[in-house]
Structure 1
Amino acid sequence: MKKRYLPDYYFKSIYTIDFKKLKSKGIKNLIIDIDNTLMPWGCRIADEKVKNLIKSLRDDGFNICLLSNSSKHRVKLFKDNMDVEFYSFGIKPMKIMFKGAMKKLMGSPKDTCVIGDQIFTDILGGNRCCIYTILVDPISNNEFITTKLLRKIEGSIKSKLEYQKENVESEG
């Protein structure tokens, strides 16, 4: 299996990531996917759980850029009054998307991490730019039709991965 499809880390959800450990590795910039990473696919407004996570990460010193293939209008609506950057309406895994998000964060590949639920968009794009990558399981099965098709291929890759058990906490 080629490295470009493998995440550096694999977690059940964004809420089970040990962000203090990431910070200790020199990560200070987070590029985060929206659909099925933070919220179920198609949600237009962030819920309180997402807002609290973003606030907590910002309070811990992380710079955050939401990265989405959705329209600028939708991402602006989603981010509402959260203190985050965003980069939208592109085609992940194109390098320009990830480099654009990194530029907004004034980051480099060494201090940036991409978090997303899709191997062929989030992980491939991050790996193509030599950025740390974290794969999380999708929140919902409700997805765009092409994503559903790609999930079948992702399944064979994911079957060879193991969750980062030392960092997984019980969700409650």
Structure 2
Amino acid sequence: MKNKTFALFPCFSISSIYSLDFEKLYQKGYRALLFDIDNTLVLHDEPAREETVALFQRMKAAGFKTAVLSNNGVERVGVFQD
């Protein structure tokens, strides 16, 4: 079996995760959102902020599946996935 690789590329970029229009994305048919942690959700080596955790809870409540892509350890990534 051949080893297949793939790359992910963003569809668009925004200045802040907090300006993301979730309702509009849902209306367009998006159901999953992928995020990087360091320097995207929080600054490198900073803990998860309450507002970031709350944002993920709102995304999930709106019907989105979320995933965090990171080269960090399970403990750091888990904070954003819980």
Shorter chain as denominator, the TM-score bin is 0.7 to 0.9
SS at match of 1:65: strand
Aligned twin of 1:73: 75
* Structure 1 outlier segments of 4+, above 4 Å: none
| Matched residue count | 75
Q: 2:68 is paired with a residue of what secondary structure?
A: strand
Q: Structure 1 stretches of 5 or more lacking a match?
A: 84-172
Distance 1:47 1:17 in 2: 17
CA RMSD of aligned residues (A): 2.0
Please list, as runs of the form range in 1=range in 2, the aligned pairs for 1:21-170 lying within 5 A after superposition: 21-43=24-46, 45-76=47-78, 78-79=79-80, 83=82
What SS is found at the alignment partner of 2:59? helix
Q: How does the TM-score come out when normalised to structure 2? A: 0.76
Q: Which amino acid aligns with 1:53?
A: L
Q: Deviations over 1:46-75 (max 9, x none)?
A: 111101101111110111111101122332
Q: What TM-score, normalized by structure 1, do the two folds share?
A: 0.39
Which whole-Å CA distance do the structure 2 matches of 1:11 and 1:28 have between them? 18
Unpaired segments ≥5 residues, structure 2: 1-6
